[in-house]
Amino acid sequence: MITKEKVDTYIEKIPPAPQTLQKTLHALNEGELIKAAKIAQEDLALKAYLVELVNKPVFGFRQKVTDISQIFGILGVEKSQQAVYNYMISLLSPAKWQLFKLNKSSFHDLQAELSTNWQKILTHLDIQDKDIQNAITLLPASIIVSEALFCEKLDEVAMLRSVHDIDLNTILVRLCKMDLFDICETIAVKWDMSTKSAQIVQAASGIKPLEDETVNNLGKWMHLLLFFTLSKPLYIEAGLNDFIEFHVEYVGDIYEDFAKVMEIA
């Protein structure tokens, strides 16, 4: 058993946002894209990350974009905030993944796909809310933390997976009494993100409905998006598809709309 204290200790190791990131996010919160770009330009690692991220094929830019002002201008405030949060998450990424067959490139692809498709969903729902927009960044962060927790008990995880036909999220609960979505909430608190962001991700579990119908509806869309993304060949091979159980009854009322937004044949 991995005690809650050990889980808390690990999450406490998540570094707070460096000063440059804090200033960049503050400027973005104020809607000052030009100021945010000037600040972000000072952090060479952040600049390199943003250039690599937005030039992923999923973003659809025909020519390589390298200027931070241009990147922020194209993305707008909400997407730029999300990109900076994604960078913060990349700082946590292990040099070598042990349980999940991921690397720097495939993890960045995962971040980009989730972010881009979440934006498609919010555009479809006519929602413009930075807290809702940023909620999607918590899922990749929790995968990194889960990887570290699983690595504490690799032999036990392997045994449970070989004997029982259960998803990794259930195994995570058995090991530390927290699931993927609880970890998301803990990270949200650590990073001073909104309560709304954490609630949406908890609702995305499919088994933790809230009284707020708007939050529940967004949770349904995120649940479908997570399952849709992790069911792609790259992430099946990485072992991420074994992470969560798909609750079809939870999302039945929006599945057709989701398929249209994602252009699923």
Is 217 among the domain residues?
A: yes
pLDDT, averaged per 10 consecutive residues of the chain (265 residues), comes to 70 66 86 91 87 80 85 86 82 86 89 90 91 89 88 85 80 88 87 88 90 92 94 93 86 93 78
Is 226 among the domain residues?
A: yes
Is 49 among the domain residues?
A: no
Quick one: tokens of 99? 């349980």
Is 209 among the domain residues?
A: yes
Is 42 among the domain residues?
A: no
Domain total of the chain:
1
What confidence score (pLDDT) does residue 154 get? 87
Contacts made by residues 63-70, CB under 8 angstroms, sequence distance 24+? 68/37, 68/40, 68/41, 69/33, 69/34, 69/37, 69/38, 69/41
Is 222 among the domain residues?
A: yes
Is 169 among the domain residues?
A: yes
**pTM of this structure:** 0.80
Task: Centre a 10 Å sphere on the Cβ of residue 229 and count the other Cβ atoms it contains.
Answer: 20
DSSP characters over 51-109: HHHHTSGGG--SS----HHHHHHHHHHHHHHHHHHHHHHHTT--SS-SSS---HHHHHH
Is 43 among the domain residues?
A: no
Q: What is the span of the domain harbouring residue 136?
A: 4-15+95-261
